[in-house]
Amino acid sequence: MKTRKHALTTILPLIFLGPIAVGCAAEEPEDKPYVPQITHSPHELADNENADDGEDIEPEPAEDRQAGGYELEPPEIPDVIYENTLEGAEAAARYYFRAYEYGYAALDAAPLENVCIEDSETCTGNIELIKELARDQKTVKGGAIATEDTTELIGNEKEAVVSFPITQDEYTVFTKHGEEFSRGGGKRILAQFLVRYIDDQWQVRAMAQDPLDK
C-alpha cells in the first residue's frame, strides 16, 4: 500500500471529525493512556529481524542492570524531526516506538519525554509505566516490534496525523526474583498518531490504535 501525503491546510480539521481513510476503517487519533506493551529484555534489539523466535532467552536480573553489567544507548533523535515538514512529522511518530522500546529495556523514560507533549495522556501513561517497572525492578523478555510502511500522512505546518501498522512479538514480564508476572503481545495493530510542531520540533500529542488481527 502506498503512502498518501497531503499538505493542504483545509484537510486536517476534517480528519478529526471523522474516520481517516487508510484502506480500512480507522478512528481519529484519541489520546489514551494505553498503548501496546512494546518491551524487551535489555539485550534484545528492537530491529533484530534475524532473531530466532524459538530461542529461549532468560531475563537478566534487575540488579545486573543496576550494577552496570551493560549499558544501552538511547535512540538518537533523527534530524528530520526538527524540520517543519510532513517527513518530520512521520519521523516523530516512528521515533516514539524507538523511545518506548528503549525506555522499557533501560528503564529510562527520558527519550519519551523528549518526543512527547507534557499533557498527552498517552505519553504520561507510558512514562509512569516505565518508572513503575524501574521501582519494582522488573525485567522483560520478548516484545520486539516491527513497523510497516506508512499508510496515511496528512497535515500542515502545525500538526499532522501519521498512521502505520505495527506487529509486536509476545512478551513476558518477570519480577526481580525471576518469577513470571504477566505476559501479552503477539498483536498487529494500526497505530495512529497526532503530532504537533512545537518549539521547533515535532512532538506526539495523542495516539490511537485499531486491531488488525481478525
DSSP string, 44-75: --TT-TT--TT---PPPPHHHHHTTS--PPPP
What is the average per-residue pLDDT within 75-101?
A: 95
Give the CATH number of the domain where residue 89 resides: 3.10.450.50
Question: Which of residues 79 and 2 earns the better pLDDT score?
Answer: 79
Main-chain phi, psi angles of 194, to 5 degrees: -105, 120
User: Is residue 188, in this structure, part of any structural domain at all?
Assistant: yes
pTM listed for this prediction: 0.70
Count the Cβ atoms, other than its own, within 10 Å of residue 148: 14
User: Is residue 40, in this structure, part of any structural domain at all?
Assistant: yes
Count the Cβ atoms, other than its own, within 10 Å of residue 53: 8
User: Is residue 181, in this structure, part of any structural domain at all?
Assistant: yes
pLDDT in tens, 183-206: 988 889 999 999 999 999 999 999
Estimate to the nearest angstrom the gap between the alpha carbon of 6 and the chain centroid.
23
Using alpha carbons, select from 68, 29, 197, 63 the residue that is nearest to residue 139.
63
User: Is residue 58, in this structure, part of any structural domain at all?
Assistant: no
Please list, residue by residue across 99-116, b when 16 or more beta carbons sit within 10 angstroms of its beta carbon and e when fewer do. bbbbbbbbbbbebbbebb
Query: Would you say the C-alpha torsion 79, 85, 86, 87 has a positive or negative sign?
Result: negative
How far, in Å, CA of 130 to CA of 104, rounded? 6
User: Is residue 56, in this structure, part of any structural domain at all?
Assistant: no
Question: Which of residues 171 and 96 earns the better pLDDT score?
Answer: 96
User: Is residue 159, in this structure, part of any structural domain at all?
Assistant: yes
Mean pLDDT of the residues in the chain: 74
Question: Which of residues 28 and 88 earns the better pLDDT score?
Answer: 88
Work out how many domains the chain is built from and give that number. Answer: 1
pLDDT of 122: 82
55 — pLDDT class (breaks 50, 70, 90): very low
User: Is residue 194, in this structure, part of any structural domain at all?
Assistant: yes
pLDDT in tens, 91-134: 999 999 999 888 888 889 999 999 999 888 888 898 999 899 99
136 — pLDDT class (breaks 50, 70, 90): very high
User: Is residue 64, in this structure, part of any structural domain at all?
Assistant: no
Tell me the residue range of the domain where 117 lies: 5-15+33-45+76-211
Question: Which of residues 98 and 56 earns the better pLDDT score?
Answer: 98
Kind and range of the H or E element at 133?
helix 121-136
Cell of 50: 534475524
Query: Would you say the C-alpha torsion 198, 204, 206, 211 has a positive or negative sign?
Result: positive
Each as own residue / partner, the long-range contacts of residues 180-183 (CB below 8 Å, 24 or more positions apart, any chain) are 181/138
